[in-house]
Amino acid sequence: MIPTNVMPFPEVQYSLRCGVCPKCGKSDGFVNLGKEHWFICRVHKSKWFVGINLFEGWKNQTVAQAESIELMLSSYKEVVPVRAIDEEQKVGNII
């Protein structure tokens, strides 16, 4: 079963702090696995951890939803995301 409760996130907000897929520069949003928040890219089957208890909604997650998300995330590869802030700092250090 593929989780349908992936939560989209406004591009400006997540690219600055939460990052994007290093292969395509995009994100499909995040899923809650308990208190943990994972952003994902479905195209590249990649995931990156962004924190614990940052976003609302995890408390309302059912056991079935958590199991579905855990199964999906187990098939994704953990990556280091590209963050707009990281890119700005690189440019700032070069100048």
User: What global pTM score does this model have?
Assistant: 0.75
Q: Where are the domains of the chain?
A: 11-94
What would the pLDDT profile of 15-25 be if each residue is shown by its tens digit? 667 899 999 99
Residue-by-residue DSSP string for 57-78:
TGGG--HHHHHHHHHHHHTSEE
Residue at 93: amino acid letter: N
Asked if 73 contacts 41 with a C-beta cutoff of 8 angstroms, the reply is no
What's the rounded Cα separation, in Å, for the pair 95 and 79? 28
Residue scoring higher pLDDT (69 or 87): 69
Pick from 33, 23, 39, 37: nearest CA to 70:
33
Task: Say what percent of the chain tops pLDDT 70.
Answer: 71
